[in-house]
Amino acid sequence: MGTFKFSMTILKKEFKKSIIFGLTMLFSISMSLVFFDIINNPHLQDTVKANGGTTFATMQLPFASSLSFVIILFCGFMIFFANNFYLSKKTGEIAILSMSGLSSFQSTLYLIYQTFALILIALPLGILLGQGLTIIMHYWIYDYLNIHASLFYTPVMTYIQTVIFVLVMMFLLCVLESGFIYRHDIQSLLMENKEMEFKDRRIIKFPYVVYGICYIGGIVMMFTEPHQSTSYIVPTFLGIYGAIGLLRYVLAKFIRKLKEGPLLTKKYALIYTSNLCQSIQQAYLLVALLVGSITSMMTIIMSCRNSYREFVVAIMGYVVVIVLLTVSVIYKFLMEAQMRKGLFYNLWKVGYTKCELKKIARNEVVYFYLSLFLIPFVYIVIILGRFVYFDHISLWFVLMMTLFYMIPLILSTIFTYIQYKKSVIDTIQGR
Amino acid sequence: MKKEIIHATQVTKIYGIGTSHPYTALHDVSLLMYEGEFVCVMGPSGAGKSTFINNLSTIDIPTKGTVYIQGEEVRQMSPKQMGEFRYKNLGFIFQEFNLLDSLTIFENIAVPLTLANMNHEEITQRVHDVSRKLDIEATLHKYPSECSGGQRQRVAIARALVTHPKVIVADEPTGNLDSKNSHEILSLFKQLNETEGVSILMVTHDPKIASYSSKLLYIKDGMIDSEIKREGLSQKEYFYKIVDLNSNESQELFE
């Protein structure tokens, strides 16, 4: 059987492995279409026209268009992220192929064929979904901006640019995948899936207190800086740096201390805190991205509040960023969860009942998402609180912004728990 | 009078009931095991050894037949009772160690005690006692991935022993160990069996390991094919008998 035929057979047989990657691509493509429409649609174009210039300083770009472009880039970035997770699920498979005599080039082709097949499915579906979302977006935005135009009109350039975006992504994914194959030998591919232990790979090892100071420092700076939308960006990023440091390097030590003390006698907490700590450490980059993106989008929304067009685009971007990131978080969490099958089975053998195991899994998932919610929440509350205080926005708006952020996280919690339970507890044979 | 610890009668296990290919892994197997016995199960690959001990130790539930452990019928227990029964009375040791990767060695050993709602001091005391006995005190604050195979198996044994179980169920406990570690662990099993009266039910492929037992069951095609008792034999004589039994099986290949 040729590499192509074999890769298609495996893709079909192990389709479950590719679902979330495929869905991320589908959603990202549809979102790119929506935002390319914002850039190209003459009815939605900014009153400030784009002007070229001989230098960056003299160049003018309408903000709604630049923001749309940033969101499209973000969609591309999320495809990369999902591809990275997808590859890490396939390490065992690639190792076996290499052991069976496939060259690095053939292994790369094997991956590329599968990725292309997924893109070929995701592209028409993504365009179709994007078209549907564009009509809904037109309905909403035209009504909001008092524009009288056909809801179904989408410039041809939008489709062309979406296809170009997908082609560029395809090329970059090829580079990424070939790099992945050439970087790994059989041994490292086989070990990749089993490596659960967190390793401190910092080049400069700051004392832990530095992270605490950064986190609190970010909060303090928000109050000391003059009240402007942009003035919240630096404190937020300082705070994120602190929060991530605390999560990665301090949380584990703190939980370990707790486990030596009061948690040792708690039959649920002893297990779920250990797993939770591991999950947070494995997903720290996504947590940082989520916190950074949400708070940045929040400040962008606030800075656009006087321009309807930009304001609407920013809110749409905010929602898209949250949805894409939560999908990635689910993907990452469930990937780690796959590795816990043995752990839950062993707990069952030791004497935990399935009901007790469900409780452990539930607590683990709930606390994971709760920490995702709470880490940026402090910053969101402060930023929005300051805007409310200076009388720029209503409490109703604050509530809406928080709900936009909370609802995807609540839905993800439920979905993640169901999938987690399915893969680690429902598979246990016996009572 | 000897006390029964496991009494299995006509145990049958069929996998894939309701599918087009049901497979009978165990056919009407019976076993009477007394307190303090060290029973070893041998047989070719796929003969049903692991299915046999899993069905006798609550890990799996027989399709037909009854299993009594310490006078309690396994099939009558609710999941909660079964879990409780498991951590209070049985100690499991497996070839793959089955440690919990996200917990330290100390926490791994402590899990059954935490389940039994013991207090902090007692847990600490028991974990230190058992780890001293197994010479793994230095590893208590490490994670399983930071330990060698021999150390990990000792940890698995420590976890199995920490609740002072009546029965130890071991499925190829030395399968991933070198010969030095294998014999050290078997000497420990023997000591536990002889001095503390712990009953042991163990699966192995290795006749040398099997020679530590007091009774050997040879399983073939899901049935007990033969049984050897050590009784007055020396370990060496018993070992030769086991080797004979295995080589008779191999001889059949050439006939």
Query: What is the mean predicted confidence (pLDDT) over A272-301?
Result: 83
Helix ranges (DSSP H) in A200-340:
208-224, 233-245, 251-260, 269-282, 284-303, 308-338
Give B110's contacts in chain A (Cβ within 8 Å). 264, 270
* Termini Cα distance of chain B: 45
pLDDT in tens, B178-195: 888 888 888 888 888 888
CB-side exposure of A347: number of CA atoms within 13 Å? Answer: 30
Q: Is A131 left (phi over 0), alpha (psi -120 to 50) or beta?
A: alpha
Tokens representing residue B126 in the block:
């028991």
Same domain for A239 and A131: no
Task: Quote the percentage of chain B above a pLDDT of 90.
Answer: 25
Kindly list the residues from chain A whose CB atom is less than 8 angstroms away from the CB atom of residue B167. Answer: none
- Give yes or no for A257 touching B (CB within 8 A): no
* The model's pTM: 0.79
Tell me the shortest Cα–Cα distance from A345 to chain B, in angstroms: 9
Residue A80 C-alpha, separation from nearest chain B C-alpha, in angstroms: 29
Best A268, A346, A352 member to test B by mutation, with max B CBs in 10 Å, is: A346
- What is the residue-averaged pLDDT of chain A? 84
In B, minimum Cα distance to A352 occurs at B83
Residue B83 belongs to some domain of the structure: yes
User: Is B230 part of a structural domain of the chain?
Assistant: yes
A63 and A13, same domain (yes or no): yes
Domain that holds residue B126: 36-53+78-252
Mutate to test the interface with B, among A348, A350, A360 (most CBs of B within 10 A): A350
Contact B117 A342 (CB under 8 A): no
Q: What are the chain B neighbours of A264 within 8 Å (beta carbons)?
A: 107, 110, 114, 120, 123-124
Do A94 and A243 lie in a common domain? no
Please tell me if residue A354 touches chain B, with a CB cutoff of 8 Å: yes
User: In chain A, whose CA is at the least distance from the CA of B85?
Assistant: A351
Chain A CB within 8 Å of residue B157 CB: no
CB atoms A349 and B146 under 8 Å:
no
Average pLDDT over residues B205-216: 90
DSSP conformational letter for A199: -
Contact between A279 and A367 (Cβ < 8 Å): no
> Which chain A residues are closer than 8 Å to B99 by Cβ?
346
Of B45, B47, B74, the C-alpha closest to B58 is B74
Domain count, chain A: 2
| B101 domain-assigned | yes
Under an 8 A CB cutoff, do B115 and A275 touch?
no
Chain B: nearest CA to A95, how far in angstroms? 22
Highest mean pLDDT among A136-150, A220-234, A408-422, B68-82: A408-422
CATH assignment of the domain containing B201:
3.40.50.300
- Please indicate, yes or no, whether residues A293 and A358 belong to a single structural domain of this protein: yes
Backbone angles phi, psi at A100, to 5 degrees: -85, 5
Among B79, B118, B123, beta carbon nearest to A354: B79
- ipTM of this model? 0.77
Is B73 a member of any domain?
Answer: no
Q: What is the pLDDT of residues A378-426, one digit of tens each?
A: 888 888 888 888 867 788 888 888 888 889 999 999 999 999 999 888 8
Domain count, chain B: 1
Average of per-residue pLDDT across A227-256? 83
Partner B contacted by A252 (CB < 8 A): no
How far is the C-alpha of B28 from the C-alpha of B186, rounded, in Å? 30
The 10s digit of each residue's pLDDT in B226-245 is: 889 988 888 899 999 999 88
B7 part of a folded domain: no
> What is the residue range of A291's domain?
204-431
- Asked if B83's CB is within 8 angstroms of A351's CB, the reply is yes
d(CA B110, CA B103): 10
The CA distance from A251 to the nearest CA of chain B, in Å, is: 14
Helix (H, G, I), strand (E, B) or coil at A420: helix
The token duo for A268 is 């649920």
Last-in-domain residue among A195, A222, A245: A195
Q: Which residues contact B41 (CB under 8 A, 6 or more apart)?
A: B49, B52, B53, B201, B202, B203, B204, B216, B217, B219
A256: contact with B, CB 8 A cutoff: yes
| B60 reaches A (C-beta below 8 A) | yes
Using a CB-CB cut-off of 8 Å, the residues of chain B touching A262 are 120
Q: Which of A196, A343, A430 sits opposite B61 (nearest CB)?
A: A430
Check pLDDT > 60 for residue A48. no
User: Exposed, middle or buried: residue B42 (CB in 10 Å: 0-12, 13-18, 19+)?
Assistant: buried
Residues A233 and A146 in one domain: no
Q: Within this chain, do residues A334 and A228 fall inside the same structural domain, yes or no?
A: yes
Q: Give which of B114, B117, B122, B142 to mutate to test A binding, by max A Cβ within 10 Å.
A: B114
- Domain identity same for A352 and A421: yes
Q: How far is B252 from chain A (nearest CA, A)?
A: 34
The confidence score (pLDDT) of residue A124 equals: 95
Partner residue facing A197 (CB), from B110, B117, B145: B145
Q: Which of A261, A348, A353 is the closest to B80 by Cβ? A: A353
Q: Which residue of A has its CA nearest to B77?
A: A431
Would B66 be classed as within a structural domain? no
Closest residue on chain A to B57 (Cα): A349
| Cβ-Cβ contacts under 8 Å, A363 against chain B | none
Least CB–CB distance from A275: residue in B80, B102, B124: B102
Judging contacts by C-beta atoms under 8 Å, the chain A residues touching residue B82 are 353, 431
Query: Looking at the domain assignment, is residue B90 inside a domain?
Result: yes
Residues A183 and A209 in one domain: no
* Chain B contact present for A356, CB below 8 A: yes
B107 domain residue, yes or no: yes
Q: What is the pLDDT of residues A130-141, one digit of tens each?
A: 999 999 989 888
For residue A349, list chain B residues with Cβ-Cβ distance below 8 A: 59, 86, 92, 98
**What digits encode the pLDDT tens for the residues B139-189?**
998 988 888 888 888 899 899 889 888 899 998 888 877 888 888 888 888
Whether A270 sits inside 8 A of B107 (CB atoms) is yes
Whether A219 and A168 map to the same domain: the answer is no
Tell me: the pLDDT tens digits for A52-85? 555 545 555 567 788 888 889 989 988 988 888 8
Same domain assignment for residues A257 and A281 = yes
**pLDDT score for B83:** 82
Hey, are the CB atoms on B145 and A271 less than 8 Å from each other? no
pLDDT at B200: 92
CB contact under 8 A, A346 and B104: no
What was the pLDDT predicted at A164? Answer: 94
Give the end of a domain, one of A171, A195, A219.
A195
Residue A185's pLDDT band (cuts 50, 70, 90): low
- CA A430, distance to chain mean position in Å, is 36
Q: Are B79 and A355 in contact (CB < 8 Å)?
A: yes
Contact status of B159 with chain A (Cβ, < 8 Å):
yes
- Sign, CA torsion B174/B175/B177/B178: positive
pLDDT digits (tens, 9 = 90+) for A101-110: 777 888 888 8
